[in-house]
Every structure is written in C-alpha cells, then in structure tokens.
Chains A and B, each alone.
Chain A
Amino acid sequence: MDKLGIVFALTGAVLAALMSGVGSAKGVGMGGEAAAGVITEDPSKFGKVLILQLLPGTQGIYGLLIAFITLSQIGVLGGDSNMSLAKGLLYLAACLPMAIVGYGSAIAQARASVASISVVAKKPEQFGKAMIFPAMVETYAILALLISILAITGIGGINI
C-alpha cells in the first residue's frame, strides 16, 4: 500500500493536464468554427477573430503548468519519488481545482468567445469590449490555478 502514494500524485498531475487540455481543445474548436464562418464573409477580420478563438486555450496551458509543477515536486522528472499514501492523495486533491475548473471554464469561456466573435463580425470596432467578456470567465480558471499552485507548493513542506 505504501507504494500507492506516487500513483495518486501522478494521477493528479495527469488529470490537471488532461481535463484542462480537453476543455481547451473543445473550446478553441468551438471558437474556430465560429471564426471560420466570419472569415468566409470578411477575411480582413482574421487577426481579431483569431485572438478571440485563442482565449479559451489558456486553461490547457494552466493545466500543463500544474502538471509540470506537480511532476517536478513528486520526483517523477528525476529525484526521489517515494512518498506516503496520504501525501499522494494530497497531491491528487491539490490538482483537482485546476482539472475540474479548467475543463468547465474553458467551455464556458468558449461560449462567450463564440458570442464575441459574432460581435466582431457585425461591429469590428467593438473588438475591445468583445474581448473582455471571455476574459471575465478566465478569472475563475486563474483562481483555481492559484489554489492548485499554492496547495502543491505547500504540500512539500508537510510532514506525513
């Protein structure tokens, strides 16, 4: 049983990258579909809709970030990978905010992005405002990222 700690810790790291990545992939895909529609009408809007399409992509990066920090903390990338079961479970729990909020917020943000892309299609001069709506959703991904980072870096110091 003692060997299971690292298993759970790695599961956490993988989940963070996996779920956020899937969410972002779906989100950027949704944005891409809407953006492609705009381009058929007016190719000159490419730059603007591309930015809006990319906005839900950040969750995937945050997921990667958490996964990477976890991997380097638990010693998978070299170092000592021995840890107690409790510690492994702690790492798993610490990764969950990013995994779950990352997935959900990427898709919610993509919906806002799609709506903003249609704003740009009709009123390109309102790009500045349109960009803010998806960015509002991202706040929650950032909060989850924050908690995950603080938790993961904190776990190292706990002695169990």
Chain B
Amino acid sequence: MASNHLTGVGSESKQLATWYFTFAAIIFGAQLVFGVVAAIQYVMPGFLFEIVDFSVARMIHINALVVWMVFAMFGAVYWLLPDETGIETVGIKIGKLLFWVFAAAIVVVVLVYLLVQVGPATESTIWLIHEGREYIEAPRWADFGIVVVALGFVFNLFATGMKGKQTGIITVLMADMLAFAGLYLAGMFFTDNISVDQFWWWWVIHLWVEATWEVYVGSLAAYGLITMIGAHRKTVEMWLWIEVAMLFGSGILGLGHHYFWIGTPEYWWEIGALFSALEPLPLVAMFIHVLYDWGKTQGAETEKGNPASVIKNKPAFTWFVLNAFGNFLGAGIWGFFHTLPQVNLYTHGTQFTSAHGHLAFFGAYATILIGMMYLAVQGTNGIKVLKSTKSSLAATWMITGGVMGMGIALTIAGYVQVLVSRAQMGATWAGYFDGQSGMWFSQAMDWRLFMGVITLIGFVFLAKDLLSIGKATHHER
C-alpha cells in the first residue's frame, strides 16, 4: 500500500484532498455569513436593502452550500482513494490543475453575483452573470467549467480504481460519481416553458441530493466505519450494496414528489407518494448499521480483554454518528411529514421546505463532510488516536444545536404559514403577508436568526479546531 489507513504523509492524492477541504471550509464560512444576512433581512427588512438584497444573499447562501459540499466531496474521494486502491491516484497532476481552475472559477462567479447581481433580460445574462435557477444559478460559462472539472475528477477516480484494487466502496463511488457528474447536464439549457424547465431542474436537484449524494454518503460511512473503528469490510460492503439498492430503489422515483404541482400529470401523485413513503427506510437502515457495527466491534474488543474505545478519531466519529442520526431526522422525519400530496398541497413552497432543507443538508451531508475533514487532520499529522478538544466539543454542540434550533423555528413559521396563508387565505399576495405578519411567525424568525448566529460562532470554533487540533499534545501518536 502506498499509505496506511489514516496516514496522509507522502501521498499527493491526500495532499490534494486537504486543498479541497480547506477551500470547502472557507466557502462553508461564506455560506453561513450570507445565511445570517438573509436571516437578518427577515427580521429587519431594511438591512442592506438595494445593496445586498435578500435574493443576492440567498443565492450566495445556497450556491456556497452546493459548492462547499461538492469541494468536500471531491476532497474526500481524493483522501480515501490511496487507502482503498492501495496506489497513488492516477493523473494527480491533472487533478491538482483542475482544483485551481475550479477554485478560481468559483471566486469569479461569487464576485459577479455580489458585484453585478442582476442583468438585462437577455441570453448574455444567463451566460455571464447567473441563470436565476435556484441552487444551479452558476452562469453557463461556469457550467462548462464545472463539467470539465467533474470529468477530470471522474477520470482520476476511474483510472485509479481500474489500476489499483477495486474495492466495493470504489465500485459504488465510480458508478455514483459518474451519475452525479452526468446529471448536471440536465440543468444546462434554457426553455420558455417553465414546467419543462422545472421538470429537468428537479432531475439535477433531486437526483443529486436524494439519490447520488445519499449513496455517496453511504460509501463514505462505509469507509469511515472501516478506518475509524475497524469494522469488518465484508459486512460493511454488503450493507453498502443493500443501501444502494434501497436508496436508488426509493430515491430515483421519489423524484415524483416534486412533480405534484408544476404542470405535470396527476399520476405523479401516486408515484411520488409511494416512493416517498419508502425513502426513509434506507435512512433508518443506515442509522442502525452504524450503531450495530460500533456495538459489535467494541463488544469483540471487550471480549478480548481490551476495554479501551475502538474509536480512532473521536471528533470524526462523533460527526459520522451525527450524520447517521441527522440524515434520519432531517431527510427522514422532516421530509416525510410534508411529502404526501394531500398535505403537500398546503405545505409546498412554505417555510416547511426551508426547515427540511436546513436540517437535511446539514444532517445528511455537512456532518459527514466535517467528519472527513477531521480524518484528514489526523492523517496529515500522523496521529494514531485523535481525541477531542474543548473547541471540537464547542463546535459540535453549537453547530448542531444551532441548525436544530433553526429547523424548529422554521417549522413553527411554516406551520403558521400553512394555516394562515394557505389553508385560509389561498396563497394570494394579501394572504401571504397576513401569514408573515403573525406574532408566531415573526418570533420564529427572531429565533431562527439567533440560532443562525450560534451556528456561525460554532463554525468559528470548528475552523479554529481544524487548524489547531493536529498540534495538540494529548493524542496517541
């Protein structure tokens, strides 16, 4: 093997991974800052009005979210590739070059969002400024850049997987990342027909976050269980295949729950309802899987008279467990309770969606990617057992508590909106503002802002911890 598990010394692939993680963490910070700006605007609408309007702050907030996650996802693959395949990543020079291309493009895109903001109603706006489509606003020129970078990344992954040892985890990742990159193409065209527009837009968004990204997380969790607690590879990989079957089996047609109201035919009600009802099952299964393996491995060690913890990286493992739980909570529970068409008729496009978005993106993706960053810190510093610091704990509590708090506040706001604006007033302009002006709604927005600030402070602790924990002296080296 080119490098042992958890050791990043001397591996170019792992070095590239740390670049990706670093850039991801910076963008994560930007995401939180602009999220707080948008949250302030709910409470004080005059804040930065016609300077950085809500639309701009929110666009940067959600684009930064997508970008930092994609960066961290790429980074995590470059991190685990040498461990899994036993060789140095093939074409690593291209990978490094593409990193700089990608990072530079993102900086330009964000500066244009911030400084130019809107353009005239012409094709050139779509090509140069932004496309005005939630989550995939990146202008067309950047779309092509992203495709090139993604292809380069997929090439690295495939070439390495085929040359080295192709484990189950690598096989799943290869298929999954190819689909992930390919799906982006569905979001790269303009049409005058908004129903067609949103139909394909959901191909990108849904088949990313509720199918390919979830499978990706399954693979990362499998890798984490093997490296962090020494779980048995064969069990873990068998689980992974079962999860792939369950996630794709429910997630691909679960796309139907976005096709209830956008002009698409009624049969999507049935398809959406059926597969949405199945979608939480793999999330429950993933949660049990983590606990089962942890219990089994620890139990086996204890039997051998070795009662010490089997966990080789405390903060990373904490984030992985939070991932299993958060995925179930945010994507599972918060997704399920507004997914059936009968109730979605009233909840579609309210703060419920926002609550679900916050909890699911955080629970399902942010957690495990933060965990991967801790694994990288451990590897680059050659630490055998990485233990938590006060900052790790502060970051975990504040970020998790903050996002949970935001989710609950937004759920209350969504409930008010459903009752007032939807069920009674029928979603008119006046009905909308009646809902927004209620006391419960505005107090919920105050709490959301407060919890958002807590999350941001938690992020400061996280950044500090990631930069300094490797130097701490209490680890086993």
Partners in one complex: no
Q: Chain B interface (Cβ within 8 Å of chain A)? A: none
